Amino acid sequence: MFHKFYRGRIILALFLFWAATIGIVVRLAFLQFVNHAYWQELANEQQQSTVTVKPHRGHIYSRNHVALASSQQMNSLYATTAVIPESLHYDLAEELGKILDMKRGEIHKVLKRKGYPPIARKITLEQTERIKALSSKFEMHEQALYFQKESKRIYPFGELCSHILGFTEFDDLGDNIGVAGIELKYNEQIKGELKSGRTRRILGAGNMDALTEQLVQSAYGDDVTLTIDESIQDVAEKALRNQVNQCKAAAGCLIVMHASSGEILAMANVPAFDLNERGDSQAFQRRNRCLTDVIEPGSVMKTFAAAALLNEGLAEPETMVDCGNGRPLYIGKRAIRDAPGHRLDRAMYQEAFQFSSNVGCGRMALDFLDSPTLREYIQKFGFGRKTGVELPGEVAGNVPSGNWTPSTRVSVGMGYEVSATAMQLTSALACVANGGVLMQPYIVKEIRKPSGELVEETRPKPVDRVISTLASKKLLKMMEAVVDEGTATKAQIDGYRIAGKTGTAQKLNPETGVYENRYVASFGGIVPADNPQLVIYCCIDDPQGLKYGGDVAAPVFRIVAMHALKVLSIEPSEYHLDPELIIDEQARQLRMTQAADSVQQDASNRERQREATLAAGRMPDLRGLTMREVAVQLAKSGARVKFTGTGLAHKQSPAADEPLRRSQLCEVSFE
């Protein structure tokens, strides 16, 4: 009986065991196969955390891969105002103000706000530690003052490239909104993205597994590499700033461009500002004058009128032109005059260009160029439209519209009635330098992902062929004479052939419409002239004292060019005749001989004409003669003479060809 009693219990126990086992198996199967997703999600919630990775702005590099702009993570201070007793507001604001160098009132207003307002962003490690100690001092809730990591934009070189790089401002995710320069133009590529990912909690610890490299990099913005050479840029900024200060000028700008590709190696502006302290700067300091400021270029523009004449076969460097010998060129009632030291008599066009004779170059435009042709060339050189360089704020300048009068044609050929930016002028000079092809200037070399993968690469982009290679070479020789013996001798560099053109333009008062005694001095240079590599354009606005481009801007060109030639290892010039010009050189020599004979013949003819006039008892034409030459002429007539002024004869009484008696008083004024 005992046995039967326990046997029943054993059977019951076995039944219950197997029933439980089967139940567990069924339950496990249900959990594993039927309700797996639910329990997996619940496990993930307990074992993993969602981590947010804030955007990290990409770098901006120079062409030599030197970081010009980068980002670093810094602490920003926030407050949980609900857990900060109002009784602590005053004292806490006082202490925080001392640490953060802020006004107590500003912090006090923040503490009164609801929620989790920021108190200060991008604070230092030292400030962070002092604030942590402050929390302990006031025995506040651990979340009363808390820190969040946010990105801060860093510009390691301060002022360097400030107008190119631009700067950023804060959004909710950090220092990550581009508002000027490359930072603005390429903001979408540089700024990065907010990312989130799941990471596993480590058992028994509050920390987590490290984030994957892929997740971290996905939040990073692309890196932008510029064409700028930081060494050339540094020298350009310093040389320009020194000259602007020395001349007590209002401002200045300078561009260095590779002639054949359009790459911009330097773009300097004065005044400038420190990118890390931009809050202390003003709007006029932050303006990229190379792109935003238009000027009437003055005589630099004679280069492009000359290009039209040479390319159309309308004139040669040896074409003779009457430069007036100090007499003005009249267009209606308007008088075109030459500056002292620029006055020539009858001379070759090359000489008129070399010494920047307004009368000679103006007469060439009047006699050989019609308005449609000149307008076509001015526009083909890129004036009147944006160059397309990858920077915000560029303006198009202006080329006169409608029918050009003879006065407008002469004005445009001399650099007036047309407005242009430094960028346009540099680009047009590069067209002359590289054989006649206008290239689109560019300042961004490439864009890459943080992993190094190439996203975008800029290649040289031809816009239009403007003049022939032969016309380009002829014009370069004319420009070389400007530096060798003309108005830009201060641009000379030992061992290198330099071509260039000076400009000195009076400034127009926009309110009165009158040209004032204020000037814009400029110089555009090409080096080496025999194998053009670099184009450098320098402009100084409103210099005091010296005003001519050859005195003010050419020396800056020389400093920058010497450094750039060294940095880029550009060899000294080889003095040889270009093969393309050998045949033309024979004809040129013949024309020069004929021109010299013509000049001598003209002088002899004028002298004989004056002698004949005196012999007939009439007053000769004395304009353009020196005081000594006038005295010799009038001594032959026996007339009395009264001189006023100095320089060359400008006015006379009696007028030319009027009766002249012995002992008659002749008045001659000089200027």
pLDDT digits (tens, 9 = 90+) for 105-147: 888 888 888 877 888 877 888 888 888 888 778 778 777 887 7
Please confirm whether the linkage preceding 620 is cis (ω < 30° from 0).
no
Report whether 507 contacts 520 (CB < 8 A). yes
The mean per-residue pLDDT over the stretch 278-284 comes to 86
Q: Output 124 or 428, whichever has higher pLDDT.
A: 428
Give the containing element (helix H, strand E) for 150.
Answer: strand 145-154
Residues 6+ apart with CB under 8 A from 69: 59, 60, 153, 154, 155, 165, 182, 183, 275
425 shares a domain with 301: yes
474 shares a domain with 540: yes
Q: Write the CATH number for 628.
A: 3.30.10.20
Residue 599 in this model has a pLDDT that exceeds 70: no
Residue 389 dihedral angles phi and psi, to the nearest 5°: -60, 145
608 shares a domain with 522: no
Q: CA-CA distances (angstroms) from residue 558 to 160, 265, 315, 550?
A: 21, 16, 31, 11
Residues 6+ apart with CB under 8 A from 202: 208, 209
Give the containing element (helix H, strand E) for 371.
Answer: helix 371-380
Q: Could you tell me if residue 221 is inside a domain?
A: yes
- Work out the burial of residue 170: count CB atoms within 10 Å of its CB; fewer than 13 is exposed, 13-18 middle, 19 or more buried: middle
In this structure, the number of other CB atoms found within 10 A of the CB of residue 529 comes to 21
Report the b/e string of 29-50 with b at 16+ CB within 10 A. Answer: eeeeeeeeeeeeeeeeeeeeee
Distance CA 104, CA 91 (A): 9
Q: Could you tell me if residue 352 is inside a domain?
A: no
Amino acid letter, residue 500: G
237 shares a domain with 203: no
Domain boundary among 576, 601, 625: 576
Residues 6+ apart with CB under 8 A from 380: 438, 464, 466
The mean per-residue pLDDT over the stretch 421-443 comes to 97
59: its two tokens = 């770098």
- Work out the burial of residue 57: count CB atoms within 10 Å of its CB; fewer than 13 is exposed, 13-18 middle, 19 or more buried: buried
| Residue 202's pLDDT band (cuts 50, 70, 90) | very low
Distance CA 467, CA 448 (A): 37
Give the containing element (helix H, strand E) for 128.
Answer: helix 125-137
| pLDDT tens column, 28-86 | 776 667 666 665 666 655 555 555 666 788 999 999 999 999 987 777 788 888 888 88
Report whether 156 contacts 134 (CB < 8 A). no
Distance CA 62, CA 384 (A): 30
DSSP state of 275: G
Handedness of CA 338, 343, 345, 349 (dihedral sign): negative
203 shares a domain with 166: yes
Nearest partner of 390 among 442, 453, 431, judged by Cα: 442
495 shares a domain with 631: no
In this structure, the number of other CB atoms found within 10 A of the CB of residue 573 comes to 16
Please state the separation of Cα 116 from the chain's center in Å.
43
Q: Could you tell me if residue 654 is inside a domain?
A: yes
| Residue 535's pLDDT band (cuts 50, 70, 90) | very high
Q: Could you tell me if residue 473 is inside a domain?
A: yes
| Residue 156's pLDDT band (cuts 50, 70, 90) | very high
Residues 6+ apart with CB under 8 A from 427: 257, 262, 382, 387, 438, 439, 440, 441
Q: CA-CA distances (angstroms) from residue 192 to 218, 226, 458?
A: 8, 19, 22
Residue with tokens 């360089």: 389
652 shares a domain with 517: no
81 shares a domain with 39: no
34: its two tokens = 């039927």
Q: Could you tell me if residue 602 is inside a domain?
A: yes
Q: What angle do CA 262, 264, 267 make, to 5 degrees?
A: 145
Q: Could you tell me if residue 447 is inside a domain?
A: no
Q: Write the CATH number for 522.
A: 3.40.710.10
Q: Could you tell me if residue 196 is inside a domain?
A: yes
Helices (H), 512-669: 549-552, 554-567, 582-615, 627-635
The mean per-residue pLDDT over the stretch 249-277 comes to 96
| Residue 18's pLDDT band (cuts 50, 70, 90) | confident
Domain boundary among 207, 226, 245: 226
Q: Could you tell me if residue 449 is inside a domain?
A: no
Q: How would you classify residue 402: left for phi > 0, otherwise alpha for psi between -120 and 50, otherwise beta? A: left
Q: Which residues pair with 438 in a beta bridge?
A: 464
Q: Output 289 or 20, whichever has higher pLDDT.
A: 289
Domain boundary among 558, 576, 594: 576
62 shares a domain with 18: no
283: three-class secondary structure by DSSP = helix
169 shares a domain with 73: yes
Total number of domains in the chain = 4
Domain span including residue 597: 582-670
529 shares a domain with 396: yes
The mean per-residue pLDDT over the stretch 486-514 comes to 90
Distance CA 41, CA 39 (A): 5
| pLDDT tens column, 342-390 | 778 889 999 999 999 999 999 999 999 999 999 999 999 999 999 999 9
303 shares a domain with 416: yes
Report whether 310 contacts 474 (CB < 8 A). yes
